[in-house]
Amino acid sequence: MNLRIQSINFDASQALESYVTKKTKKLNRLFDDIINVEVYLKVVKPEAAANKEASIKTSVSSAEFFASKVCDTFEEAVDLSLEAIERQIVKFKEKLIKK
């Protein structure tokens, strides 16, 4: 699995990058065939309270999954985005089993 973390409009700390890496590695337990995971971290409207956006794009051999969340912290946004990706992967696997 290739992981790419890109921070837009700010410099991500080492702690944030390691947090994202640790969380995205858990996707492998759901689906073995993950090729790429791209994480985009962006600060939206700096004057707003909930201004941290995490967008995650996951590529497998026959599909792509995408989720984007805006929250107070990047950690919370990453967690919610990964939960959405996990739901999409589970749904995709159920469709594969039915075929």
Q: Where residue 7 falls among pLDDT bands split at 50, 70, 90?
A: very high
**Does domain 2-98 sit in CATH 3.30.160.100?**
yes
The whole-number pLDDT of residue 49 equals 77
Q: How confident is the model over 46-77, as pLDDT tens digits?
A: 777 788 999 999 999 889 999 999 999 999 99
Domain limits, the chain: 2-98
Residue 5's region, left for phi above 0, alpha for psi from -120 to 50, else beta, is beta
Residue 91: its pLDDT value, please? 94
What is the C-alpha to C-alpha distance for residues 58 and 28, in angstroms, rounded to an integer? Answer: 11
Asked whether the predicted pLDDT for residue 99 surpasses 70, the reply is no
